[in-house]
Structure 1
Amino acid sequence: MPNAIAKLSIIFSLVSVPVTVFAATGPGRHEVPLHLVHGGDCGARIRQPKVCEVHGEVPAGDIARGYEAPDGRIVVLTRDDLADLPLATTKEIRVLGFLDAAKVDPIAYDRAYYLAPSMPAGERPYALLCQAMREANQVGVARVALHTKESLAVLRVHGDMIVLRTLLWPDQVRPSAGLAPHDIELSPKEVQLARQLMDAVTADFRIETEHDDYARALEEVVEARLAGIEPPHAPASRVLQPGRPVTDLTAILERAIADAQEQHPKTRRGGA
């Protein structure tokens, strides 16, 4: 079981649901531990001690958070200061309203947390909220403060649990104006072939079987270096080269469909 992060209460109108917050995601085996080292033939670790401008190196237990005022004065904030902010969301998940899940743009999603009932008395209202959101196919939009910052968040049903997903604030999502291509005219034939190719590559795709190839490739390079042999190299890329025009997109799509049907026999049997 993951470690508990906080004990809060989901508050919507007069209903209170006490919950314990757990991190829903973690590094797993997807991060090969790389350290900062001195390059070349040395390889010694680079250390980063915490150094006070006045007293030199400082132990971790003596480090606090501080705010520098415009006049240069420093306000030192203790753990108690941060835990007792005059803000309801440091103790509550304040539900603002409910929306259809499709109305929340996935680009704003940030961290995910499991919410579990923190006491037997909270299990019935927890199950009620879970069932109501499931039947309505809606998510709750809330405010919550975690890890010394307040966030917008959504509450959504995941199996029999409620998951809290923090959101980026609207001003954190950068505008996309000017990034998309313009004045591209596509023929109906091209669109039809693209849809056919999508069906072909999806025929036997199962997202739950996917795994992290990057971490394994990095481990192979490390193992080769340890063995004193030449590490494996990247395969030839099929990425379109900059400035290289696509002369016949229809022909490329037709070849891609044939290739996909060879790799995905279910498509060839059932038809795309």
Structure 2
Amino acid sequence: MRSMWKGAIGFGLVSIPVKLYSATEEHGVSLHQVHAADGGRIRMRRSCEKCGKEVAYADIAKGYDDGTGRTAVLTDADLTELPLPSKKLIDVLAFVDAGDIDPLALSRAYYVGAEAAAAKPYVLLREALVKTGKAAVTKIALRTRESLALLRVHEDVLVLHTMLWPDEIRSASGLAPSEKVTVRPQELKMAESLMETLSEDFDLAAQHDEYQHALDELVAAKLEGEPIPEMAETAAAPDNVVDLMSALQASIDARAPAPAAPTAKKAAPKKKAAAKKAAARKKAG
């Protein structure tokens, strides 16, 4: 696995040299735009709206429009000079209870690998986090942008999750039902029963992207000039719920295992004994 960042974890006077590795990868078929009539590739050309000329990528800079017609042009050299206090450093700000961080704030995940000479301080930090149930809130600069990040333990490896800044998380105010809703105890119990039923024998590792699988089959068929495979129909989502209790019960019934087939009944003890006596008399006579 190839590292994408090299630096150090710093807290107090402790410095732990580490590397970051992408912890996730997305699978999928890479699609691009083509001319439907002949399959020719559609190319997007970079052109300047002022002079109309095509612009080479090396001549493109970044700009900010203030909304009044003024544009601030920012070159790579300008951006390089901006101060980044946490550059090449995972700067630990504080240790918090792991459960206090809302997953809504988490973004990308990276495995944190230790340099050979940093094995002991790496393990010491890892074990301290495990024992205390804590995670570290840090700052880090990745790709010229500084962000908050959460450092936690996954199995026997430290994992770094980049985080959104607090003001980047939108308020959920006004999205919950506005009217007062009363949930009866029996409705809550039925919902809990459905939750248990749905969770029986669930294996997260066995889940897969059915859309991606169907897309792979479609692309393969198109490339080989074969007939398009039949696709499974997608069940329509229910558009309303008239009776909540009935819907909950129907959901539970739909998940219940089919009854076992009836088995032949064993002969009653008295009948077995009578049959043995009759066979003995017949043999003696």
Report the TM-score, using the length of structure 1 for normalisation: 0.83
Residue 208 of structure 1 pairs with residue 191 of structure 2: no
Cα separation, partners in 2 of 1:208 and 1:36, compared to 1, 3 Å: same
Per-residue CA deviations over 1:86-132 (Å, capped at 9, x if unaligned) read: 322112111000111111000111000111112x2211111100010
- Whether contact under 8 Å (1:153, 1:167) holds in the other structure is yes
Instruction: Report the CA distance shift for 1:236/1:31 in structure 2 as closer, same or farther (over 3 A).
Output: closer
**Mapped partners of 1:159, 1:64: distance in 2:** 44
> Is residue 157 from structure 1 mapped to residue 153 from structure 2 by the alignment?
yes
Does structure 2 conserve the Cα–Cα contact (< 8 Å) formed by 1:64 and 1:78?
no
Number of residue equivalences? 252
Is 2:41 the partner of 1:45? yes
2:62 alignment counterpart: 66
CA distance in 2, matches of 1:155, 1:6: 15
CA shift in 2, pair 1:65/1:140, >3 Å? farther
**AA in 2 matched with 1:181:** P
Distance change (3 Å), C-alpha of 1:239 and 1:69? closer
Task: Give the 3-state SS of the residue equivalent to 2:117 in structure 1.
Answer: helix
Q: Which residue of 1 aligns with 2:129?
A: 133
1:90 alignment partner, SS class: coil
1:142 shift after superposition: 0.4
What RMSD in Å do the two structures reach over aligned CA positions?
Answer: 2.5
* Structure 1 partner of 2:279: none
Identity %: 37
- Aligned counterpart, 1:268: none
Q: Which residue of 2 aligns with 1:237?
A: 235
Which residue pairs with 2:104 in the alignment?
A: 107
Q: Is the 8 A contact 1:8 1:92 kept in 2?
A: yes
Report if the CA contact (8 A) 1:197-1:253 is conserved. Answer: yes
Q: Is the 8 A contact 1:65 1:78 kept in 2?
A: no
Which letter maps to 1:235? E
Q: 1:248 aligns with which of 235, 243, 251?
A: 243
Query: How big is each residue's C-alpha offset from its partner over 1:149-193, in whole Å with a ceiling of 9 and x where there is no partner?
Result: 111110000111111000111122111112122322221111101
User: How far apart in 1 are the matches of 2:126 and 2:60?
Assistant: 39
**Equivalences for 1:26-41 in 2 at 5 Å?**
26-27=25-26, 30-39=27-36, 41=37
Give the TM-score of the pair, scaled to structure 2.
0.79
Offset of residue 219 of structure 1? 2.3
Cα distance in 2 for residues equivalent to 1:105 and 1:73 = 37
How far apart in 2 are the matches of 1:114 and 1:63? 36
Partners of 2:192 and 2:72 lie apart in 1 by: 62
Equivalent residues of 2:95, 2:135 under 8 A apart: yes
Match of 1:124 among 113, 117, 120: 120
- Give the partner amino acid of 1:7: K
Q: Match for 1:44: what amino acid?
A: G
- C-alpha change, 1:154 and 1:236, in structure 2 (3 Å) is closer
1:240 match: secondary structure: coil
Structure 1 portions without partners, runs of 5+: 266-272
Q: Give the Å deviation of 1:51.
A: 4.3
Greater Rg by CA: 2
Q: Secondary structure at the match of 1:4?
A: coil
How far does the alpha carbon of each residue in 1:46-104 deviate from its partner, in whole angstroms, 9 at most, with x for none? Answer: 1124446766342x5x256434586545332249x63x643221121110001111110
Change (3 A) 1:164 1:259: same
Contact kept? 1:95, 1:142, Cα under 8 Å: yes
Q: Where does structure 2 lack aligned partners over 5 or more consecutive residues?
A: 261-285
**Aligned partners of 2:9, 2:94: CA distance in 1, in Å?**
12
- The aligned residue for residue 16 of structure 1 is 15
Paired residues of 2:61 and 2:73 also in contact (CA < 8 A): no
